[in-house]
Chains A and B, each alone.
Chain A
Amino acid sequence: MERETGAREGLKGWLNPSKIGKFGIERLAWLLMRLTGLGLLAYFIGHIYETSHILDGKAVWDKSLEMTQTTEGHLFLALVIGMCVFHTGNGIRLMIAQMGYGIGKAERPDYPYKPQSINMKGKACIYATLGMAALAMWYGMAVMFA
């Protein structure tokens, strides 16, 4: 495809909070999907690094585990739980939609042209996924801070 120089919004187009207000919950879901994906990738790399300490003996391993046994560590892990649940739930929604299901049926458009692909089923799934992520974070914190 043709390359074009300049004239792209870049990261500003992703992160500008006013876009979410103007383009709805689907845009928020899209942004969170990107951010949680990057967050989970960073966590995965950190997790591999942390668990590799097991090769350095019990003392080193215990010390590395202590990193997450703090208030900040617990909050971080709660965030990871939230990211995991949201990314999974929203990913399933997207996979179904991207196979062409739950996005309505092509038909003759009538004014005022409500897009069928942006429908209540999709919105309900996004809200449910956000709710599940919040619930999982709350449960995780309840266990970790008990």
Chain B
Amino acid sequence: MATIHPKLSDELSQTVVSSTKSVKIKIKRSNPNVNSEQKFDDFVVPIEKWTTVLDVLLDVKSHLDHSVGVRYSCRQASCGSCGMKINGKPGLACFTKISELDSDTVTVEPMDNYPVVRDLAVNMDRMINNHKKVMPYVIREDSEIDAESGIREFLQSPENVDKYIQFSSCIKCGLCNSACPTMAMDKTFVGPQALAQAYRYIADDRDKGKNKRLKVIDESHGIWRCHFAGSCSQVCPKGVDPAMGIQLLRGYLLGIRD
């Protein structure tokens, strides 16, 4: 039995409200710290054409059930906090409008391939640790701060920036790792997020840490475990296209591409 939003109850009693449409949202609930029980709670919430999945979840939290666990922050697809499975596909709740889902019922679940903290919030330690392991920063012996000449810049041509700028848009939302079929089976796979970031720095001509980085990814559970299913790129909300970065990096490792 779905819990109905008070605004909609008012609507039933002829009170004038701005919204005329509603959506049924099914939220997967679980708390592994307490028990292994998993269930779906249903709520009916009013929507407008601009309402996002996150708006609906926050509406549920405000009016129907304060205990729903969801992680969010910026509400504008910049922080990467509100990743979840929406109607079976990983997506950002703040970047997915209910109207574009074209469904009267929306099912939200925690992302696959991550341990659940509670309800829709997952533990992203593995992704963050793998991200750190690929050394996501420019490695150089020299510094931008020079003792003799003061501060200088490591200049780049726009063409060189274009080689990696796409991959620097990653917001670490983890949707790619959730969609990846290799992540579903391989406990130690480094994952598309970290591999795309490895390429981002390897393609950066200011960076001199290629060999250190390649040592991390050129191993049995590293880049060679990607089989180019392309699911990571399908779900990326920022156009990073991790699958492209991984294949370009593989071409580089094989000595075929620069």
Chain A interface residues toward B at CB < 8 A: 1-14, 18-19, 22-24, 26-27, 29-31, 33-34, 94, 97-101, 103-104, 106-111, 113-118, 122
**Stretch of B21-29, B68-76, B112-120 lying at the A interface:** B112-120
Task: Considering the complex, give the chain A residue whose CB is closest to the CB of B165.
Answer: A108
Does B208 belong to the interface (CB within 8 Å)? no
Residue pairs across A and B with Cβ atoms less than 8 A apart, 24 shown, are A2-B130, A6-B115, A8-B113, A8-B184, A13-B185, A22-B88, A23-B179, A30-B229, A33-B227, A34-B227, A94-B228, A97-B247, A99-B251, A100-B252, A104-B241, A106-B245, A107-B165, A113-B238, A114-B239, A115-B230, A115-B241, A116-B241, A117-B247, A118-B233
Binary flags per residue of B121-143, CB closer than 8 Å to A gives 1, else 0: 01100100110010000000000
Question: Taking A30-B227, A115-B230, A118-B233 as contacts, is the C-beta distance between A98 and B251 under 8 angstroms?
Answer: yes
Q: How far is the CA of A14 from the CA of B229 in the complex (A)?
A: 11
Given contacts A4-B126, A101-B251, A118-B243, 18 further A-B contacts (CB under 8 A): A1-B133, A1-B190, A4-B187, A6-B115, A8-B184, A19-B231, A24-B230, A27-B230, A29-B229, A98-B251, A99-B257, A103-B243, A108-B165, A110-B239, A111-B239, A113-B239, A115-B243, A117-B247
CA distance A109 to B123 in the complex (A): 29
B230→A117 contact, CB < 8 A = yes
Number of A-B contacts (CB under 8 A): 160
Bound CA–CA A99/B126 (angstroms): 28
Residues on the A chain within 8 Å of B165, using CB: 106-108
Smallest CB–CB gap between A100 and chain B, Å? 3
Q: Is the interface of A mostly helix, strand, loop or mixed?
A: loop
Given contacts A14-B181, A108-B162, A117-B247, contact A26 B231 (CB under 8 A): yes
Cα A99 to Cα B116 in complex, Å, equals 36
Which residues does chain A contribute within 8 Å of B185, judged by CB atoms?
A: 8, 10-11, 13-14
Other-chain residue from A2, A19, A122 in contact with B188 (beta carbon distance below 8 A): A2
Contact across chains for A8 and B256 when beta carbons are under 8 A apart = no
Contact of B227 among A4, A94, A104, A114 (CB under 8 A): A94
